[in-house]
Amino acid sequence: MDRYKVIKEVGDGTFGSVWRAINKQTGEVVAIKKMKKKYYSWEECMKLREVKSLRRMNHPNIVKLKEVIREHDILYFVMEYMDYNLYQLMKDRGKGFSEAEVRNWCYQIFQGLAYMHQRGFFHRDLKPENLLVSKTIIKIADFGLAREVSSLPPFTEYVSTRWYRAPEVLLQSSVYDSAVDMWAMGAIMAELFTLRPLFPGSSEVDEIHKICSVIGSPCQDSWAQGLQLADAMKYQFPEMGCSSLSELIPSASTDAVDLISLLCLWDPSKRPKASEVLQHRFFLPCLYVPPTLRSKSVGVPKTPPSGVKGFEGRRYSTGGALSASKPGSNVLTVKPVLSSSRTAVQRKLQLDRQDSRKSLGATENNSKQPNYRSPARKSSGNTGRSKNGSDATGKGNVPDIPSGKVVSSVTHKMSKVSLGSVGTKPIPPSPSLMKAGGWHGQSSDIPSARRYTRKAIG
């Protein structure tokens, strides 16, 4: 920690406090998270969910973990620094964000969530305070409650701030998945338009009541499993009808309201996946950037066009990755990793350049050869050209025929060639034909016009 100069505290949470600091060697501004719990071994630190998840993820909309340091049994996370969190921007505004701004924020978050879920993790604690902003870039942070999708239940009952907690978690279900992140994003998206929480419950029971007042009470068709969970808790849902989201969020468009209503469905299995949300028509005004460029671009990631399916088979492998090659040093640092996909692209470009050079070289060699050559003969004789490269008349080298006049010149020469039948004595060529390096020998020595044309043009 001697390499960092702490400036000021910028946040305090349940598990640790966050400080703004400067790297004394590079001058880079970083965020240092100091954990409140003591850690007495390096192996214990490496098993933390936040370390395990961030080590496996590298995406422009997920905050980057630069270093993990343990000194005097105190654990520090050194991360990239972001100017604000989304809650700070919301509380300082007099009115809600415009739809373009909401679309920009939400698309980036769904990009990060789609990547995270496909890597086998879900966040479980999405809220405005855990979404960090610098200029037009937003990133998901605080993976202290992140879980692997493949983890075996039961899961923790209390996972997120109450206002963004999914109903299956409120009803103490021990089995849930990445759909809890989708519910939280529906509530956050609505709050960006109105600057007011969509479900501001004061307790778990009041939270369920608030949800029912907005989307209506669940029934056997809308969420049969939820009714079973409620029966197990001896809880009965209030009988309430749904409200109009367009009236609750008057500044939102029809597409925005439709997306929020899909994200805030009772049944988690009916909520769209993050990759499916990116195809919703609410994001159609955005432009598409190929996945291979998203992790390298500095600007805001864009949306795929309608009809492009999800992220199946896509990988974000550019940038750096964390290495724990020296656990005894109590410092986990970032080592750059060369992406296999990037290597393949670079190698293909190199091969393409080599092929183009070979093709160019072959073209240059062909251009240096004379456009006209007499066919090879077995017997020796006058070919119309002397050893020093001069023609038979001694007037120097025969000039190259321009490419546009090759065919016409050949036709002119062949029209003056006398053809004899097989077995008869050939008619000797006239002296004028010798000047042009004319043909000699029998008619069988003369190549066909098709063969000659391919030779002259190629």
Q: Catalytic amino acids? A: 125
Helix, strand or coil, per DSSP, at residue 296 = coil
Confirm if 111 and 301 have CB atoms less than 8 A apart. Answer: yes
The C-alpha atoms of residue 448 and residue 419 are separated, in whole angstroms, by 13
| Beta sheet of 84-85, edge-to-edge order | 84-85, 131-134, 137-140
The C-alpha atoms of residue 164 and residue 185 are separated, in whole angstroms, by 8
Cα 425 versus chain centre, distance? 77
435 marked as binding residue? no
Cα 269 versus chain centre, distance? 27
Which residues fall within 8 angstroms of residue 171, CB to CB, at 6 or more apart?
A: 208, 226, 229, 230, 233, 235
Concatenated DSSP letters of 422-451: TTSPPPPPPHHHHHTT---S-GGGSPPHHH
Tokens of 208: 């369920």
Helix, strand or coil, per DSSP, at residue 295 = coil
Tokens of 449: 């016009």
Tokens of 12: 């305090």
Element (H, E) at 134: strand 131-134
Which residues fall within 8 angstroms of residue 201, CB to CB, at 6 or more apart?
A: 162, 163, 207, 208, 209, 210, 211
Q: Which residues are annotated binding-site positions for ATP?
A: 34
User: Which residues are annotated binding-site positions?
Assistant: 34
